[in-house]
């Protein structure tokens, strides 16, 4: 599809920041800097909102395998060895197996997607991801007709993920999607951000991104993908089903039992910026509302 490459993060990053970054990261000279592309309109999959900085995106994280504080993942995730990396594919699929990551995604198109990201805790960011559409991988793997859901699991390796030595969560971290959600073109398996491999704290080497759902759905460091006809067990739902549903669609009209979901705090916006309104399906309503036609979203939260 032609529009996939219409917009890159450099087009929507404030120009001064973009030039800085290019200077820093690529050491380009003045002539190359003058040739920086002009701003363009966003394609249908990417927002034209300004992305957060790499420092914000990789410095303020949730990743309980490395601690419960927002700075803990950045401090501790360096321990994790992400190469070699094997992903087990099993269940109702034509080509199950233990795939080396490179083999799993070899030949699939890596796309840039600038997505809003909304955590259930009511903070948000804008992230320039690189990744493959999950649908392209599932098509290649061959989903059997009886499959209705996709389940994902994070690596278990307590030597490198220190909190796994505790009972903080029922490890591994696990998540799942309905098959039609998994096949939606917005659903991404991210391999990078800002044009670099994913930082470990953001879920290297492979993490899910489902931009219309709360961030806890976007499971990090994926080592298992299972096609199933049963709704999968999911980590936060197992801990507190009344607070965290399976669907977890961003919805300003359905509050968390302990706080409002009507507004959010954009990370990096500054002390005086104030909160901004949370958008239905995190702003992806036009693309995804039809997936939930006829469902009561207050019941299926
Ligand atoms: N995946 C694993 N394996 N462990 C986690 O603790 N936290 C989730 C999700 N994926 C989590 C995880 C939550 S609560 C959020 S909000 C996002 O990751 C945070 O992603 P980010 O740190 O890249 O912003």
Domains of the chain: 3-292 (3.90.420.10)
Which strands form 149-154's sheet, in the order they lie side by side? 97-100, 86-91, 222-228, 149-154, 174-178
Which residue's alpha carbon is at the smallest distance from atom 19 of ligand 1?
A: 62
Residue 281 Cβ < 6 Å to ligand 1: no
The alpha carbon of 214 and the centre of ligand 1 are apart by a number of angstroms equal to: 10
Which atom of ligand 1 approaches the CA of 173 most closely? 3
Q: Look at residue 27 in the predicted model and tell me its pLDDT.
A: 44
Q: Look at residue 101 in the predicted model and tell me its pLDDT.
A: 98
Q: Look at residue 45 in the predicted model and tell me its pLDDT.
A: 94
Q: Look at residue 32 in the predicted model and tell me its pLDDT.
A: 41
Beta strands in 119-170 (DSSP E): 123-133, 149-154
**What average pLDDT does this structure show over 18-41?**
42
Residue 64 Cβ < 6 Å to ligand 1: yes
Q: What are phi and psi of 191, to 5 degrees?
A: -120, -10
Residue 200, classed as helix, strand or coil, is helix
Average pLDDT, the chain: 90
How far is it, in rounded angstroms, from Cα 64 to Cα 41?
Answer: 37
pLDDT band at 270 (very low <50, low <70, confident <90, very high): confident
pLDDT tens for 141-176 read 999 999 999 999 999 999 999 999 999 999 999 999
Q: Look at residue 11 in the predicted model and tell me its pLDDT.
A: 54
CA–centroid distance for 1 within its chain: 22
**What average pLDDT does this structure show over 60-80?**
98
**What average pLDDT does this structure show over 243-271?**
96
pLDDT tens for 179-231 read 999 999 999 999 999 999 999 999 999 999 999 999 999 999 999 999 999 99
The alpha carbon of 260 and the centre of ligand 1 are apart by a number of angstroms equal to: 20
Reading phi first (left if > 0) and then psi (alpha if -120 to 50, else beta), residue 8 is in beta
Which atom of ligand 1 approaches the CA of 117 most closely? 24
pLDDT band at 3 (very low <50, low <70, confident <90, very high): very low
Residue 9, classed as helix, strand or coil, is helix
Q: Look at residue 245 in the predicted model and tell me its pLDDT.
A: 97
How far is it, in rounded angstroms, from Cα 296 to Cα 42?
Answer: 32
The alpha carbon of 208 and the centre of ligand 1 are apart by a number of angstroms equal to: 10
Instruction: Evaluate whether 60 touches 71 at the Cβ level (below 8 Å).
Output: yes
How far is it, in rounded angstroms, from Cα 76 to Cα 125?
Answer: 22
Residue 37, token pair as written in the block = 């592309």
Residue 116 Cβ < 6 Å to ligand 1: no
Q: Look at residue 10 in the predicted model and tell me its pLDDT.
A: 54
């Amino acid at each position: 599809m032609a529009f996939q490459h219409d917009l890159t993060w450099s087009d929507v990053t404030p120009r001064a920041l973009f030039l800085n970054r290019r200077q820093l990261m690529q050491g380009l000279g003045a002539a190359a800097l003058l040739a920086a592309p002009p701003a363009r309109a966003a394609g249908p999959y990417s927002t034209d909102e300004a992305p957060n900085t790499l420092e914000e995106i990789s410095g303020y994280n949730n990743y309980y395998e490395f601690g419960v504080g927002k700075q803990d993942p950045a401090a501790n995730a360096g321990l994790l060895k992400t190469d070699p990396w094997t992903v087990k594919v099993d269940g109702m699929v034509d080509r199950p197996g233990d795939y080396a990551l490179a083999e799993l995604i070899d030949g699939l198109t890596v796309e840039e997607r600038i997505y809003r990201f909304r955590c259930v805790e009511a903070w948000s960011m804008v992230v320039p991801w690189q990744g493959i559409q999950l649908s392209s991988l599932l098509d290649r793997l061959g989903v059997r007709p009886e499959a209705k859901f996709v389940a994902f699991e994070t690596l278990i390796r307590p030597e490198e993920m220190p909190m796994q030595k505790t009972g903080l969560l029922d490890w591994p971290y696990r998540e799942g999607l309905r098959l039609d959600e998994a096949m939606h073109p917005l659903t991404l398996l991210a391999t990078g951000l800002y044009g670099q491999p994913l930082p470990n704290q953001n879920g290297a080497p492979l993490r899910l991104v489902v931009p219309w759902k709360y961030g806890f759905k976007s499971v990090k460091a994926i080592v298992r993908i299972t096609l199933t006809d049963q709704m999968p067990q999911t980590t936060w739902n197992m801990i507190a089903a009344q607070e965290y549903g399976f669907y977890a669609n961003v919805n300003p009209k359905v509050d968390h039992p302990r706080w409002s979901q009507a507004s959010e705090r954009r990370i990096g916006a500054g002390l005086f910026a104030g909160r901004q309104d949370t958008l239905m399906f995190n702003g992806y309503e036009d693309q995804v509302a039809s997936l939930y036609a006829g469902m009561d979203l207050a019941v299926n939260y």
